[in-house]
Amino acid sequence: MRVIGIDPGLRCMGWGIVDILGSKVSHVENGVCKSEGSDLALRLLSLYEQLGDVFARFQPEAAAVEQTFVNSNGAATLKLGQARAIAMLVPAQNGLAVAEYAPNTVKKVVVGVGHAQKEQVAHMVRTQLPGVKTAGADAADALAIALCHAHHVQFSGRLEAAVAKAGGKL
């Protein structure tokens, strides 16, 4: 299964793709969509088009997006929410359900600590995907989101297998 993780952002939207084969997770590609344009509508359109191109090129089969948090700047939170809508719209247009993970959940799964720093997340992404070169912090975060979803999928598969082995009784 090919999974895309998306780290929503209005200026830079990170994306990272991994393949899951059994218990093995391997890096496919990662990058950053950088918004372009003189106003919000054009910036959102550029993110939409760039992310759509990523989907066309790599054809992910599952998508995961980081949930956003509300901060004290309401206008900034609203703009981030609009970028997040693009991050959810493009997978939906491609027929994919979108898993959502809180930032602390992603950090807990990838690093082992829910309040890890960005550098720790990037380090653990490099550890879990040996040889990976990320296109920046946003792409590393997106790969962490993809890894979080990969772990969730793998755990769900093991749980389903255990239930089936137990005859549907657990």
Rounded distance, CA 76 to CA 21, Å? 39
From the list 36, 53, 66, 160, the catalytic residue is 66
Rounded distance, CA 2 to CA 122, Å? 21
Q: Known catalytic residue: 66?
A: yes
3-state secondary structure of 103: helix
With contact defined as beta carbons under 8 Å apart, do 61 and 2 qualify?
Answer: yes
From the list 7, 39, 53, 141, the catalytic residue is 7
Q: Known catalytic residue: 138?
A: yes
CA distances from 28 to 15, 51, 99, 136, 140 (A): 11, 16, 19, 16, 13
User: Which token pair is 67?
Assistant: 């949930």
Look at phi and psi of residue 168 and say left if phi exceeds 0, alpha if psi is from -120 to 50, else beta.
left
From the list 39, 49, 100, 138, the catalytic residue is 138
List, by residue number, the catalytic residues: 7, 66, 138
